[in-house]
Structure 1
Amino acid sequence: MAGGWSGLAAHGWVEPVLLWLVFMIVALTTLALLAPSEAEHIARKRLRDLRLRGVPPDQAEQEELARPFSQRVLRPAWERMVEAAERWTPQGVAARWERLLAAAGRPLGLGTLAFLKAAGAAAGLVPGWVAGGWLAAGMSGAGAAGAAFQPVVAALGAATGWILPDAALKARATRRKRQLARALPDVMDLLSVAVEAGLGLDGAVQKVTEKFPAPVSTEFRQYLKELRLGVSREEALRSLADRAELPELRSFAAAVIQADRLGVSLARVLRVQAEQLRFQRKQRAEEQAMKTPIKMLLPLVLFIFPTLFIVLLGPALIQILSAFAR
């Protein structure tokens, strides 16, 4: 054990490792102190609700204790930390993160990015500090420059941990938008057929949630949920378009709202939307096909052409060199 600590001390790793251990101990202790009070508050609320439903107190307490530990203690503590992070986040930044989370479909039920980004920065700081100390030990002859290298690498590690959640969510949002855009023409076809068969718009949307996988079913299910909560159809459609951030869905929402206001046949509007979306999908496919030769140019120049030159000119070059060698 002493040899291990001496090795860490030789590389300057003792301080960051100890700081990391102290940070984890303080964080876990704080969590242990805060979580019971929050869990107790949630438990009292659930017990009160159960009593209002006529459930005996003993049975209500048994039902509460039967819930998993993660739901009774860990989840309330996590929600409390997330709420604290939300309070410290500026409104403009919080609104931008909210739009990004909505476009990505709220993976893992995330309500805010503040706590996740802070945790990522803390997780990247210590490995960066340790890696910087290891690199600085290898640059022992560099003097002050080598000593300054460690905090720079630590800052880079923290910045990487801070940026990674954004990058992952943006990639997920882009993939989700692509899936929605690809499925929308078929969605409009089903909506128009269902409306022409006599269903209302909401009934047709219910059919869409049954026939299509996520993310299409997720977005339209949220639309139906908002309607059940008392939101007007116009507001629910605008919310659907704002969440997805797709021009095609914005056009669909605007067309349905306009048809609802003017009393135009909804089936005809949906049929026109389906034809327009199919035409746009065909245009996107043609555009991607036209980009294919340009995308193939770099692999051809870097990998295919050099191999062909070696196969075709290699034997001739060998004969020429052997002739000059004589």
Structure 2
Amino acid sequence: MDAAQLQTWLTWAATGMIALGVGGGGFLWLREARFGAKRRARLSNPGGVVQGGAGESAAVSTVVSTVKRLGDRMAIQDPAQISAIRQTLIQAGWYSREAVAFYLGARGFALILATGATLFTVPWAMSGIGGPAAIGAAGVFAIAAILGPDQVVKARRRKMALEYVEGFPDMLDLLVASVEAGLSLDAAVARVADEMGRRYPNLAGHLRFLTLELRAGRSRKDAWGSFAERLGIDEAASLATMLRQSEEMGTSLGETLAVFSDDMRSKRMLRAEEKAMALPAKLMVPLILFIFPCLIGVLMIPAAYRISQSFVGGH
């Protein structure tokens, strides 16, 4: 390897380290902001106990307030677009009224950070040594700034949707048992929310919110429709439609929930079987790339060594 190739490899390695450092720093900042929000919520309680880190909490609060102010300045004027963003954030687990402002502020803050990081690569590109690497690093910063916040929201949304899908059959089983025991549907929802709080806390939170809407006088059809929109999964939409049709046609609620619960349980079993059937195909790639070369090496190296020794001994 000559000097030019070595310099190119070192340049790309430096680019990778810079990108890794920026990504790790952003992850640490987001995690600290999350911990800071939890600390502020805990300290806002009357019986909260302050535990060290006052300066750190003040710094995090300053950063969060800066992001919020930036989001307020970047506020979108289209109500439909704001409603769509709010719905997406609710499905991802952020229910605050200021969630849209924080989201827009995070996007703007990410663009500012990417712009600053790109400016640091300008002298590197102008030097003529690492021009392509500097351009690549600037591209990585730009892509991370543009797609980073959206990917975080999508990842959180997928995580929440997975919990909802896993907990939905259990919720239906508990609803069926409660309704068949003599409780009304509204009382059964409140009871199921208390029972599922430990295993599926986010789903239980949506059930409690549904209970509050029903107690506030909202119609059952609208309350269950909003519940399905907040969860954002097909099972919840099917349940809301089924309850609306059952109420309009006057069919037995217990039997309807029992049939729907059996259907959900069958779908969960089919999803498990589908994942099991796809497992051999997914194992093929690591088998070919990692396990198969090791087996070939273990089987062929001793034979090749013996053949080479026989040739040496023959000579």
Task: Flag whether TM exceeds 0.5 (same fold).
Answer: yes
Counterparts in 2 of 1:181 and 1:281: CA distance versus 1, 3 Å: same
Deviations 1:7-34 (A, max 9, x none): xxxxxxxxxxxxxxxxxxxxxxxxxxxx
Superposition pairs of residues 175-190 of structure 1, within 5 angstroms: 175-190=159-174
Matched, 1:296 2:289: no
Q: Which residue of 2 aligns with 1:19?
A: none
2:64 & 2:189 partners in 1: Cα distance? Answer: 33
1:272 is aligned to 259
Q: Is this contact kept in 1: 2:161–2:231, CA < 8 A?
A: yes
In structure 1, runs of 5+ residues without a counterpart are: 1-67
Q: Is this contact kept in 1: 2:67–2:106, CA < 8 A?
A: no
Q: Which amino acid aligns with 2:239?
A: F
Q: Offset at 1:127?
A: 2.3
CA contact (8 A) 2:124 2:134 kept: yes
Q: How much does 1:153 deviate?
A: 4.4
- Does residue 312 (structure 1) correspond to residue 296 (structure 2)? The answer is no
Could you tell me whether the CA contact under 8 Å between 2:175 and 2:189 is conserved in 1? yes
Q: Aligned residues, how many?
A: 251
Q: Is the 8 A contact 2:179 2:185 kept in 1?
A: yes
Within the alignment, does 1:208 sit opposite 2:196 as a pair?
A: no
Structure (1 or 2) with the larger CA radius of gyration: 1
Aligned partners of 2:72 and 2:303: how far apart in 1? Answer: 73
Matching residue within 195, 200, 209 for 2:179: 195
Deviation at 1:194, TM superposition (A): 0.7
* Secondary structure of the corresponding residue to residue 320 of structure 1: helix
Deviation at 1:199, TM superposition (A): 1.1
Cα distance change of structure 1 residues 89 and 322 upon mapping to structure 2, 3 Å threshold? farther
Match of 1:111 in 2: 99
Higher deviation after alignment, 101-110 or 116-125: 101-110
Alignment of 1:99 onto 2:87: yes
Q: What amino acid maps onto 1:277 in structure 2? A: M
1:252 aligns with 2:239: yes
Q: Counterpart in 2 of 1:167?
A: 151
What are the ranges of 5 or more consecutive residues in structure 2 without an aligned counterpart?
A: 1-56
Task: Note closer, same or farther for the CA distance 1:118–1:90 as it changes in structure 2 (3 Å cut).
Answer: farther
Distance 1:104 1:270 in 2: 27
Question: 1:223 and 2:213 equivalent?
Answer: no
- RMSD over aligned CA atoms reads 3.1
Shift of 1:211: 1.1
Q: C-alpha displacement at 1:251, in angstroms? A: 0.9
Equivalences for residues 11-26 of structure 1 within 5 A: none
% identical equivalent positions: 29
Per-residue CA deviation, residues 264-310 of structure 1 (Å, 9 max, x unaligned), is 11111111111000000000000000011011111111111111111
Q: TM-score, normalised by structure 1?
A: 0.68
Structure 2 counterpart of 1:136: 125
Give the match's secondary structure for 1:231. Answer: coil
Give the TM-score, by structure 2 length. Answer: 0.70
Contact 2:67–2:109 (Cα < 8 Å) also in 1: no
- Counterpart residue number, 2:7: none
